[in-house]
Amino acid sequence: MIEVSAPGKLYIAGEYAVVEPGHPAIIVAVDQFITVTIEHAIGSKGSIQSQQYSDLPIKWSRRKGELVLDHRENPFHYILAAIRLTERYAKETNHPLHFYDLKVTSELDNSNGRKYGLGSSGAVTVATVKALNAYYHLDLDLLTQFKLAALAHLDVQGNGSCGDIAASCFGGWIAFSTFDHQWVIERYGNLPISELVKMDWPGLAIRPLPVPDKLRLLIGWTGSPASTSDLVDQVHQSKKGRLQDYQTFLTQSKDCVEKMIAGFETGNVSQIKQMLSLNRQLLNELTSMTGVIIETPALKVLCDLAENYGGAAKSSGAGGGDCGIVIVDQKTGILPLMSAWEKAEITPLPLHVYQCQEER
């Protein structure tokens, strides 16, 4: 039996701007996992099973009056896309295909399919690619696994930077810039997958970051999860009338995150904190520009309390609920903040950064 896990992620900085190539984000992998097991099936039928996902409602809406399924909300679509892509690669590289039973267990969703915003759709895609890599003995390096998972993710979600996929593949703290999606999509239909994943994808940059010993990361959860892909769509719709302001946001975010990366590389925690607070401000300006609520009232309370106790804080990921992150100096006592959060009904999540064991 094959059993592999992929970690969840948290965005530290650079959200929304990172969907544009050349605009970095900092993302971290955390020690909550999605695990995929694969066993040879008996006979000529395979199966896909997940206790967490089996009761999920299938969401749908209407487009021009017609019923359309919302694939993006259902993890089975990410699993199927990852299988399809990885098997295409296997077939092209002369690996015979088999029937198997694939099982998924998730620590990133609870039994109602409720998420903590830790990137479960990215992690399930990565875990499926990794499991099939082992099952078919494909011997793919991490970057190739990332590219297969990114293609599968784009097939289902259609938008997004794939930064969550990179964090889940590579682990640890990473600086990430996305690839030129248009360039990849143009070749996706025309080239064998095995060739496309061997090419350098313009713009793509994934770099591990050293972390200052003095830095401590805290995570709080505010509930009310939001749909990332819907929020990204909304920002893209609303920015259309404000292209100049959006361009300014992109430039400022890039500058801010690059300074934060320099803070990591030089071990300068106060520069990292300063840039985290600036990134919070930039995202609030994006909200004023587009009307899309990123920092909800609960996330504002989470961040303001953290600042009162000497931390720098912001929403993490798409916002609209879910998690906020705080960076504090190691020597700062955190108990007063933890109890202030609990009084404000913010749940501290006891997560740790996860370093993958594989070669980076």
Which single residue is written with the structure tokens 């600036």?
Answer: 278
What is the smallest separation between the CB atom of 19 and ligand MEV, expressed in angstroms? 5
Is residue 318 at the binding interface for ligand MEV, with CB under 6 A as the rule?
yes
Which lies closer to ligand MEV via its Cβ, residue 37 or residue 315? 315
Is residue 228 at the binding interface for ligand MEV, with CB under 6 A as the rule?
yes
CA-CA distance, 167 to 10, in Å (whole number)?
8
Site string for ligand MEV, 231-260 (x = CB under 6 A): -x----------------------------
What is the smallest separation between the CB atom of 132 and ligand MEV, expressed in angstroms? 24
Is residue 156 at the binding interface for ligand MEV, with CB under 6 A as the rule?
no
Angle between helices 120-135 and 142-157 (to 10 degrees): 130
What is the smallest separation between the CB atom of 9 and ligand MEV, expressed in angstroms? 8
SS (H, E, C) 32-80: EEEEEEEEECCCCCCEEEEHHHHCCCCCEEEECCEEEECHHHCHHHHHH
What is the smallest separation between the CB atom of 178 and ligand MEV, expressed in angstroms? 7
According to DSSP, the residues that pair with 355 across neighbouring strands are: 171
Is residue 16 at the binding interface for ligand MEV, with CB under 6 A as the rule?
yes
Smallest CA-to-CA distance from 84 within 185, 175, 156, 166 is with 156
What token pair was written down for 104?
């998924």
Which lies closer to ligand MEV via its Cβ, residue 79 or residue 318? 318
Q: Which listed range, 30-38, 85-93, 158-166, 343-351, lies at the site for ligand MEV (CB under 6 A)?
A: 158-166
Which single residue is written with the structure tokens 């009056």?
Answer: 65
Residue 274 Cα to chain centre, angstroms: 24
Contact set with ligand MEV (CB under 6 A)? 11, 15-16, 18-19, 160-161, 163-164, 228, 232, 317-318
